[in-house]
Amino acid sequence: MLLLIMKSNPVGRLIGYSNMELNYLHRFGGRLCLLLALVHTLARCIFYIQNGILKRELTENFSVKNGFGILVFLVVLVFGSSFRHLSHEWFIALKLPVTIGFILYTLFFHLPIGIFLTLCLTLSVVILDRIWTRIRNLRDNLPMPLAKIEALQGRATRITISGSQIKRWLPGQHAYITIPSIAPFQAHPFTIATVDEMSFVTLVKSGFTLKLWDTATQNSTVHAIIDGPYGCPPPLSHFGQLILISASTGGSFTIPILLERIQTPGCVEKIRYIWIVKSIECIEWYAYLFGQAMVLSLESGIELEISIYVTRPPKVVEKSSVGSVIDKISTSSEKGAASSAEKAEYLFKNTPSSGRSAMAFPFFCGRPKISTIITDETRDSTVGETAVVVCGGAALSVDVRNCVAELQRNIFLHVEEFA
């Protein structure tokens, strides 16, 4: 259980599990421990009742008396994690003392002292992991990198890091960012949205990301501490066809994968890319990367189809600082749009910024019908096995999971979640 919270877990790396995925196992293991502790308590109580010694055991047996205390600690640890989404900082601040309390209480009041050695070994591995992480952070952040923070439309912020010693990462990996001038004791995970420069797109929530956005509205450059990269994105070069689906900042996970596969295709011959966003302004987040992908795909000969779905439809002609919806080019051309009323297709032209080339993208209004898209793309596919990668909210992940399961075909599925 303790080893599963390590940041640089060598076992995770070996079996291709990121620290986030191992964290799921940690949480699941916690619930299992609570269940086993309850079964153990119940079985003991039944045994004592059958033998008429319950009262004596509860009053005189040191270990039995304190067993209930352990149950309380376990309940707090397991159910406390349900409040993680309410306040991450409070959750972290409380989890550490409760865990230490649980370990010490269990050791001194319930379990045989022989377990001490095993516990010490495990704790030393976890402590070594933390020390190694700190040393690596020092090495990677001296001198401290600079973060250029830009406010983007659609309530998002772009962070571009310069001067970092971290030069290599895999597409889809994430890093923890601390900005001392905004929140010195908080480290937030964000996915690296590009392959060549370290850049992140963060959606505004109510804590750190909101303060970041406030700072970004003044277009500032601040010092940042980067801890990473972390995560084990799936190897995809041996598939013939990729279907990459993402929503909102989930694009930070799928776009680097898209760019990498176009540059070094391996067996990949065909890529279908689907991105779902609330409003047309959000296209600004990744517009130049889509442009880059389109140009590179022409050079590499990969068949690439990018479909952008905007769930909040724009007025027919709309102008913004990033570009304009220049035309309504069709009303019923897209397979997989949710309903006929939503099949309008528009063309969006982004305004080039800082030497980046202008690009026009077709986009569709409404939500995509994921099952239709995956079914159509995989039916009679002649390019080899298909891999589906999804990164978005829970609802999108469930949709994709269900669809792939229902198809009962040989499809590889990777689901990435920002939780």
Q: Which of 17, 73, 169, 208 binds ligand FAD (CB under 6 A)?
A: 208
Tell me how far, at minimum, the Cβ of 137 lies from ligand FAD, in Å: 15
Q: Is 206 in the site for ligand FAD (CB under 6 A)?
A: yes
The token pair that represents 75 in the structure block:
């309940």
What is the C-alpha separation between 308 and 344, in angstroms, rounded?
12
207 in contact with ligand FAD (CB under 6 A): yes
Residue window 171-190: x/- pattern of binding to ligand FAD, with contact defined by CB under 6 A: ---x-------------xxx
The distance of closest approach from Cβ of residue 207 to ligand FAD in the complex, given in angstroms and rounded to an integer, is 2
Q: Are 30 and 77 in contact (CB under 8 A)?
A: yes
Minimum distance from CB of 416 to ligand FAD (Å)? 8
CA angle (24 as vertex; 23, 25 as ends), nearest 5: 90
CB of 88 or CB of 95, closer to ligand FAD: 88
Residues within window 228-247 making contact with ligand FAD, judged by CB under 6 A = none
CB nearer to ligand FAD: give 12 or 336.
12
352 binds ligand FAD (CB under 6 A): no
Rounded distance, CA 176 to CA 225, Å? 8
Q: How distant, in Å, are the alpha carbons of 314, 321, 346, 364 from that of 329?
A: 14, 22, 5, 10
Nearer to ligand FAD, 187 or 294 (CB): 187
Binding to ligand FAD in span 70-89, by CB under 6 A: 84-85, 88
CA angle 278, 232, 252 (to 5 degrees): 20
Alpha-carbon distance of 143 to 158, in angstroms, equals: 22
Choose between 90 and 108: whose C-beta lies nearer to ligand FAD: 90
Q: Between residue 7 and residue 26, which ones bind ligand FAD under the rule CB under 6 A?
A: 20
Paired tokens of 382: 């002649």
Contact region with ligand FAD (CB under 6 A), list: 111-119, 158-166, 207-215, 381-389:
207-215
What are the CB-based long-range contacts (under 8 Å, 24+) for 99-102? 101/73, 102/70, 102/73, 102/74, 102/77
For the chain, percent helix, then strand, then coil, each to nearest 5? 45, 25, 30
If one counts every other C-beta atom within 10 angstroms of the C-beta of residue 96, the result is 9
Radius of gyration, CA atoms only, the chain: 25
Residue 175 C-beta: closest distance to ligand FAD, Å: 9
Site string for ligand FAD, 261-300 (x = CB under 6 A): ----------------------------------------
According to CB under 6 A, which one of 56, 205, 278, 335 is a site residue for ligand FAD?
205
Question: Which residue, 141 or 191, has its beta carbon nearer to ligand FAD?
Answer: 191
Contacts of 172 (CB under 8 A, 6+ apart): 191, 231, 233, 253, 254, 256, 257, 416
3-state secondary structure (DSSP) of residue 404 = helix
Residue nearest ligand FAD, Cβ-based: 207
Half-sphere exposure of residue 179: CA atoms within 13 angstroms, side-chain side = 23
Residue of 149, 203, 289, 359 interacting with ligand FAD (CB under 6 A): 203
Tokens of 45: 């109580």
* Stretch of 30-38, 147-155, 194-202, 392-400 lying at the interface with ligand FAD (CB under 6 A): 194-202
DSSP label at residue 317? S
Least distance from ligand FAD to the Cβ atom of residue 229, Å? 11
Give the interface segment with ligand FAD, choosing from 138-146, 205-213, 325-333, 371-379 (CB under 6 A). Answer: 205-213
Contacting range for ligand FAD; rule: CB under 6 A; set: 110-118, 200-208, 218-226, 403-411: 200-208
Strand partners, 209: none
- Total chain residues near ligand FAD (CB under 6 A): 22
Binding site for ligand FAD (CB under 6 A): 20, 84-85, 88, 174, 188-191, 200-203, 205-210, 249, 252, 418
